[in-house]
Amino acid sequence: MKHRTSPHNSPQSRAPLFDALAKYIKQPKVPFHTPGHKQGKGIDKAWRRLVGDDIFRMDLTVLPETDCLFHPTGVIKQAQALAAGAYHADKSYFLINGSTGGNLSMLMGVLFPGDRIIVPRHTHKSVIAGLIMSGALPIYIHPEVNQEWGLILNVSPEVVEKALIKNPDARAVFVSSPTYHGICCDLGKIVKLSHLNDRIVMVDQAHGPHLLFHPSLPASAMEAGADICVESSHKIISGLTQASMLHVKGPNIDIRDLEEVLLLTQSTSPSYLLLTSLDLARRQMALEGRNLLEKSIAISVKLRSSINKIKGLYCLNPEDVKPFKLDPTKLTVFVDKLGLTGYQASKILNQKYDIQAEMADWDHVAFIFSIADGQSEADSLLRALKALASSHYGRGPLQKLDIQFPSNYPAMSLTPREAFFATYKMVKLKEAVGEISTEFFTVYPPGIPVIVPGERITHEAVEYLETMKRLGAILVGPESGQPGRIRVVAQ
């Protein structure tokens, strides 16, 4: 069930951590503790002049008044309990290392070395990193792809069900929903199937911290009955960059194990600015989320339809991703009919029209429309897209790439952990076909690895990476700045 807007006099109107910090900075304490800038006194003057003093005063540390993230007994405990209430969880944890840290903690906190987990191969690299660290063994499943757009959709319940039947010893099922492009899988069905078979369901909901707060948005992990989920409050709602949350519900997660791992994976010096932003982002969503989302959904739906009236552009529609659901606040605009790559279009939008997109791919540009945006932002984007289209219409279409994000993943030859720690040799990427990779190669964003440790490198993957680099994508690998060498298993 969706969150009902909390009244302004309800417990959700409190922000205990924010209140504690706001009170603390008014007191005449003389700080003999970290951070060394001592509440801004030692901060670079130009920076202080630019942004003011109070933000630095609030950059505090573990003190009796501010509580301790790793042994919360005061205002952080209260703030996390309020978050659990707002997110319909039994327990919520504040994270300061993003959903990357959340995914690592979730996998290490739930799984033991040798546990098998059904997991989509097209996950964010932090999930594969969690497999390396936990020693869990992946059973990779594969997403549906929209062939017309060459766009990865998400995993279907049927694919999960097949994997469950084929792997009766799997301990858990992992899904990522929404994807970077806002494509949500049928979490309700996947949870039901998995729970029927006593499997734990983990969800990477990095792109969905808002889902719970509006009835027209796809179901969130907690509503669907997942056992545990991670979400990036900083990506879509008002958390500061790196601020995320982890939510747990039901009896299937051993809280003691999870909390022990959270002590290992997070900085021992959590930023109080990030933690406070989580306290306030939760309050904002609980009290005003529904209204804020109502407005941004209405504007983004209208904007999508206006973009689709522009000759040469196409904005992904909910029908294109069926049977999956599309978060309407994500706008994926295909520009290939203008004869431009997404990278070129994104650059022109930035340099000529002052529009910064979230990400570009070879044939599209993706925009996030959030609760912070209104009609004037929608108008700016529409104006810029119209101008872009009118100056390029007729020059297209872009020659179709004969290579897409590799969907023909090779079978796993070694587990990610075995490969990551294997003795390696360095080879040129071009000469690596057929070898087993010990490392990741990722096009960023979206951060889904093209090559993961343990897989034999395919001709298709190498060709895709080289094509993407030529087109202007950012390749992230250990030697991404170099012509491209990769570590492969020596024997």
Interface ranges with ligand PLP (CB under 6 A): 98-100, 103, 124, 126, 176, 180, 204, 206, 232, 244, 446-447
When the beta carbons of 206 and 261 are compared against ligand PLP, the nearer one is 206
Contact 112, 272 (CB under 8 A): no
- Minimum distance from residue 266 beta carbon to ligand PLP (Å): 12
- Minimum distance from residue 342 beta carbon to ligand PLP (Å): 17
Rounded Cα gap, residues 399 and 411, in angstroms: 31
Q: Is 360 helix (H, G, I), strand (E, B) or coil?
A: strand
- Minimum distance from residue 31 beta carbon to ligand PLP (Å): 30
When the beta carbons of 67 and 361 are compared against ligand PLP, the nearer one is 361
- Minimum distance from residue 437 beta carbon to ligand PLP (Å): 21
Q: Which amino acid is at 488?
A: V
Rounded Cα gap, residues 183 and 303, in angstroms: 18
When the beta carbons of 20 and 202 are compared against ligand PLP, the nearer one is 202
- Minimum distance from residue 210 beta carbon to ligand PLP (Å): 15
Based on the number of CB atoms within 10 Å of its own CB, is 408 exposed (0-12), middle (13-18) or buried (19 or more)? exposed
- Minimum distance from residue 176 beta carbon to ligand PLP (Å): 5
Nearest C-alpha neighbor of 133 from the set 264, 228, 245, 244: 264
- Minimum distance from residue 204 beta carbon to ligand PLP (Å): 5
When the beta carbons of 220 and 244 are compared against ligand PLP, the nearer one is 244
When the beta carbons of 235 and 337 are compared against ligand PLP, the nearer one is 235
When the beta carbons of 111 and 206 are compared against ligand PLP, the nearer one is 206
**DSSP 8-state assignment for residue 301:** H
The vertex-282 CA angle with 280 and 287, nearest 5°, equals 95
- Minimum distance from residue 242 beta carbon to ligand PLP (Å): 7
When the beta carbons of 314 and 324 are compared against ligand PLP, the nearer one is 324
93-115 burial string, b = 16+ CB within 10 Å, else e? bbbbbbbbbbbbbbbbbbbeeeb
Rounded Cα gap, residues 101 and 95, in angstroms: 7
When the beta carbons of 206 and 345 are compared against ligand PLP, the nearer one is 206
Q: Is the dihedral of CA 254, 159, 451, 325 positive or negative?
A: negative
- Minimum distance from residue 4 beta carbon to ligand PLP (Å): 28
User: Between 375-392 and 272-307, two packed helices, what is the crossing angle to 10 degrees?
Assistant: 50
Can you give the three-state secondary structure of 25-46, one letter per residue? CCCCCCCCCCCCCCCCCCCCHH
User: Between 125-134 and 98-110, two packed helices, what is the crossing angle to 10 degrees?
Assistant: 30
When the beta carbons of 130 and 406 are compared against ligand PLP, the nearer one is 130
Rg, C-alpha atoms of the chain: 23
When the beta carbons of 245 and 297 are compared against ligand PLP, the nearer one is 245
Across the beta sheet with 474-476, what order do the strands follow?
448-451, 441-444, 474-476
- Minimum distance from residue 267 beta carbon to ligand PLP (Å): 13
CA 203 to chain centroid:
11
Q: Which residue is nearest to ligand PLP (CB)?
A: 98
CA dihedral 344, 349, 351, 352 (to 10 degrees): 120
Rounded Cα gap, residues 287 and 4, in angstroms: 9
Nearest C-alpha neighbor of 119 from the set 203, 191, 193: 203
